[in-house]
Copies of this chain bind each other. A is one copy, B any other.
Amino acid sequence: MTDGGIARLSLNQKTLNRYSLPAAVAECVRTGIPAMGLWREPVQEYGLTEAAELMRSNGLRVSSLCRGGFLTTDSPEARAEALRDNRLAIDEAAELGAPCLVLVVGGLPDGSKDLAGARQRVVDTLAELAPYAERQGVRLALEALHPMYCADRAVLSTLEQALDIAEPFPENQVGVVVDTFHVWWDPKLFEQIERSGSRIASFQVCDWLTPLPADVLLGRGMMGDGHIDFPPIREAVRRAGYTGDTEVEIFNEEVWSTPADEVVDTMIERYLHLV
């Protein structure tokens, strides 16, 4: 169903969580996947310069770097540290040639119930980071996480909220992520995707499974294993003007214990037929 075969498919590194960066790169080379979404920790482990070189020498695009964020802290020291670390993440994204740095904004600080305050700090901290990101040629990509992560991971809960925060910034400074797992339930999804227009910095797909596993962070499934109808969402994202990669990012114990080549073959087949 997807036009253009896998020319715009990207393998997010988390989907092969137990494999090294070179092993994931090798899977892309084997199958012809032209892009990868990278994560900071395994890139740092492998070496930033080496990772950038590995991608280039294999002709792979970096579709995004995950992740910056955690901007909701309420102490000046923690805030300074968050700013420092986010600038570093922006530098890393720039060196990798990633067009965007995905931001998971953080949950409520320990012991705090001040949700409005945490949300305001995201806005304030973003204002300090965005010009720096622009100078480095990296777009900050606000990721709305599913509302079930609001307390402990991201107080940014809907695409509408992400756009409300992003819109005061120039488009090349702050964009948004559309991740099917996080937003598929939203009654305003299609209206807000249309509103997003060229703010869409990243499009990520995986499925919503029931029942949710005991660790809700690992509830993301392979496309087709759950409840999400992908084509209308993919079409809406395309109509909004997004021409970038579609990243497959799966956090799932069963996927992670499957051999990499099986996962990638299934992913390609599902992507071609279901997304």
Contacts and interface: CB of A to CB of B under 8 A. Distances in A.
Contacts of A113: 227-229
Nearest to A212: B216
- Interface hub of A184, A214, A227 (most chain B Cβ within 10 A): A227
Contacts of A148: 146-148, 212, 216
A255 B58 CA distance: 56
A20 interface: no
A113 B275 CA distance: 13
The number of times this chain is found in the oligomer is 2
Nearest to A161: B187
Nearest to A165: B187
Interface string A135-153: 0000000000011101110
A108 to B, nearest CB: 6
A158 B187 contact: yes
A22 interface: no
Contacts of A114: 229
B208 A151 contact: yes
Interface string A192-234: 0000000000000000101110111000000000111100000
A235 interface: no
A265 B226 CA distance: 42
Interface in A157-174: 157-158, 160-161, 164
Interface in A86-130: 108, 113-115, 119
Given A114-B229, A115-B229, A148-B148, 12 more contacts: A113-B228, A115-B184, A115-B185, A146-B148, A147-B147, A147-B148, A148-B216, A151-B185, A152-B210, A158-B186, A160-B187, A214-B214
